[in-house]
Structure 1
Amino acid sequence: MKYATYRRDGVLRVGIVDGSELVDPQAVEHASGELGPQAGWFANMTEVIRHAPQSRELAQCAVALSAARGIGRLALKDAELCAPMLPSTILCAGSNYLSHNAEKASSDTSGKEPEFFVKTADCVVGPSDDIVHDSALTRKLDGEVELAVVIGKPGRHIPRERALDHVFGYTIVNDVTARDRQVRFRPDGSSWYELGRGKVFDTSAPIGPFIADTEDIPDPQDLGIRSWVNGELRQNSHTGQMIWSVAELVHVFSINLTLRPGMVIITGTPSGTAWSTDKELGGKWSGGNGIVPAAGYLQPGDVIECEIDGIGRLRNRVIAA
């Protein structure tokens, strides 16, 4: 099952994707009176997540009632989709694909442990929202398609073998990055990363378009992952190429923090970023899988699209500040 957040009469509501249509459980309840007060969970995605699996069962009932009676539906193409959720915290694992590590300047931990940084809800924009290119912040704005893990069940020190039990579902995050803020060089030419200013800024976390639950995606390590800039294929890989699996990342992050419903973990990006063609910052283009080398970094007017099998495609335009 896939969930979306959309704006209806100025109010955010959660809908269920059913083919080319969106089912609104609150509208189904209003028309039928058969879902009960629990339909109110669908006013907020975090409440839907918090009340799973009962909310999944209620969503299935809403879809069935909607189909049988022709109520509570609208065409997906007509829905004003928003970010499916505003995560309380976005826990980020960098350097999690060998192919990406091979195309960039290394940090001291690259490939040895997940590079741990955090984004906040202040960074989030939704599908079709704009990414702001702020020239006062960066001259080298880059994008990274990443599988995002939506936490559904709280836990601390979660064992790897039970980690996926704590996952509600999966979405897409574009980990937009200011490369010239991220990559810094020492006098001897070796590099280090400043992940705060390089990663955390307005519009640096487009998310969406949907959350696919674990029934739709039983194995997060078996998904194609791709991105395009202005229609050129820039990234083309598979989540099976991750160094640390989703289960391992849930385990690792739960050592630091109690994972709670509504938190999101992003899992790194494969090769093909604009960084790979930037020799000034230690880039090393490797190619493969039909990807096209970037002629430069993201500029106002560019369109970046991120796609993961089973979830959908996240599309954002770059605009000047």
Structure 2
Amino acid sequence: MRFVSYAGHGGECLGILIRDQIIDAQECARHRRLDTSTVSDLVRLIEACVHDGLDVGALFDDPPASAVHDASSVLLRAPLRPSTILCAGSNYRAHNLEKANTPLSGKEPEFFVKTADCVIGPDDGIVSDRKLTKKLDCETELAIVIGKPGRHIPVEHALDHVFGYTIVNDVTARDRQVRTAPSGTVWYELGRGKAFDTSAPLGPVVVTSDEIANPQALHISMRINGELRQSSSTSDMIWSCADLIHFFSTNFTLKPGMVIITGSPAGTAWSTDRELGGTWTPAPGLIPASRYCLPGDLIECEVEKIGILKNYVL
């Protein structure tokens, strides 16, 4: 299933996307005399599946006419608004080769957090705030949406805790992130560099895990103004999705609706920025960035089997 959120009924509505139609979850629940509040958003639906045994397939089977909408007639929003986005940086081998690294880069997952305040949806604007950063960068990342809760989750059972997958653009203020000590040692300030307004575009859909049998075999890419900047596979991850679920569950009880983003491939604007330690290497088909992102730029983040997340810089 492909879950979406869209503008309607005076707020945001949850539905599933089937070809060119959206089926509204609350209308289906109302038709079946179920509590509509349990499917008012994706986090609540996931909780209802986990705790109450909601049969999602049955919910959307044979929907009433009032639940069916033409997808082209609605405005999509972020498919969910997680309270916590657990983030793993420096997780692609090729990306680690193109940038200045800290002593721990590639040795253990980088750990930082974004919140619901960072989230925007498809076609929403990424704000270029020159008081915050003059080096606004974008990164396509596969995102894991947690379903079954757990703590200290073993790697071999980690994917059992996945509800689905989506795309997150890890928007970054590079001049806030990358710092150099007088000794020449590089260190990252991941708070101010990563977490700010509009720094987590998310969507356009959440695809349930049954449709993605192997999350380590997905093509992942980014285009800026039509130029291919990133093109890789999730097989280039150092730590797999299962590894990251295990890693983050050591610190947190993972809960329904939490999101884990899994790192970005090579091809960021950082890679061409010698001032910040970039060491871009030519790759077939890729166009090196000549600058960081500016207002008017169209960012297209794509992950195989999920879709394309589009946002303009404002």
Q: TM-score, normalised by structure 2?
A: 0.96
Report how far residue 271 of structure 1 moved. Answer: 0.2
Report how far residue 80 of structure 1 moved. Answer: 1.2
Question: Partner amino acid for 1:42?
Answer: V
2:121 corresponds to: 126
Report how far residue 71 of structure 1 moved. Answer: 4.1
- The runs of 5 or more residues in structure 1 that have no matched partner are none
Q: In the alignment, which of 66, 79, 83 is matched to residue 88 of structure 1? A: 83
Partner Cα separation in structure 1 for residue 33 and residue 73 of structure 2: 27
Moved more, 74-83 or 48-57: 48-57
- Structure 1 counterpart SS, 2:248: helix
- Structure 1 counterpart SS, 2:239: coil
2:215 corresponds to: 220
Report how far residue 28 of structure 1 moved. Answer: 3.4
* Backbone CA RMSD of aligned residues: 1.6
CA gap of 1:113–1:53, structure 2 versus 1, over 3 A, is same
Give per-residue Cα distances to partners, 1:251-279, cap 9 Å, x unaligned.
00001111111111000000000001100
Counterpart contact for 1:23–1:62, Cα < 8 Å: no
Q: In the alignment, which of 33, 37, 47 is matched to residue 50 of structure 1? A: 47
- Structure 1 counterpart SS, 2:250: helix
1:163 corresponds to: 158
Report how far residue 107 of structure 1 moved. Answer: 0.8
Partner Cα separation in structure 1 for residue 59 and residue 154 of structure 2: 35
Give per-residue Cα distances to partners, 1:112-155, cap 9 Å, x unaligned.
00000111111111111000000001000000000010111111
- The runs of 5 or more residues in structure 2 that have no matched partner are none
Report how far residue 287 of structure 1 moved. Answer: 2.9
Report how far residue 48 of structure 1 moved. Answer: 1.1
Question: Partner amino acid for 1:116?
Answer: F
Moved more, 51-60 or 296-305: 51-60
- Extract structure 1 runs of 4+ deviating beyond 4 A: 53-58
Question: Partner amino acid for 2:20?
Answer: S
Partner Cα separation in structure 2 for residue 173 and residue 260 of structure 1: 19
Counterpart contact for 1:13–1:43, Cα < 8 Å: yes
CA gap of 1:309–1:38, structure 2 versus 1, over 3 A, is farther
Report how far residue 289 of structure 1 moved. Answer: 4.0
Counterpart contact for 2:49–2:56, Cα < 8 Å: no
Give per-residue Cα distances to partners, 1:67-97, cap 9 Å, x unaligned.
xx64411121221111111111110000000
Counterpart contact for 2:5–2:76, Cα < 8 Å: yes
Counterpart contact for 1:142–1:273, Cα < 8 Å: yes
Report how far residue 291 of structure 1 moved. Answer: 1.3
- Structure 2 counterpart SS, 1:132: coil
Counterpart contact for 1:237–1:289, Cα < 8 Å: no
Partner Cα separation in structure 2 for residue 52 and residue 307 of structure 1: 28
1:142 corresponds to: 137
Report how far residue 188 of structure 1 moved. Answer: 2.7
Give per-residue Cα distances to partners, 1:91-113, cap 9 Å, x unaligned.
00000001000010011111100
Report how far residue 213 of structure 1 moved. Answer: 0.6
Report how far residue 37 of structure 1 moved. Answer: 1.2
Question: Partner amino acid for 2:107?
Answer: K
Moved more, 306-315 or 6-15: 6-15
Report how far residue 250 of structure 1 moved. Answer: 0.3
Partner Cα separation in structure 1 for residue 278 and residue 145 of structure 2: 31
Question: Partner amino acid for 2:27?
Answer: A
Counterpart contact for 1:272–1:287, Cα < 8 Å: no
Counterpart contact for 2:178–2:188, Cα < 8 Å: yes
- Structure 2 counterpart SS, 1:92: strand
Report how far residue 290 of structure 1 moved. Answer: 1.2
Question: Partner amino acid for 1:36?
Answer: R
Matches within 5 A, 1:74-113: 74-113=69-108
1:290 corresponds to: 285
Question: Partner amino acid for 1:18?
Answer: I
Question: Partner amino acid for 2:239?
Answer: W
1:151 corresponds to: 146
Counterpart contact for 2:25–2:40, Cα < 8 Å: no
Give per-residue Cα distances to partners, 1:41-83, cap 9 Å, x unaligned.
22111111112269997443344313xx644111212211111
1:189 corresponds to: 184
Partner Cα separation in structure 1 for residue 161 and residue 263 of structure 2: 20
Partner Cα separation in structure 1 for residue 170 and residue 79 of structure 2: 16
- Structure 2 counterpart SS, 1:117: strand
Matches within 5 A, 1:209-288: 209-288=204-283
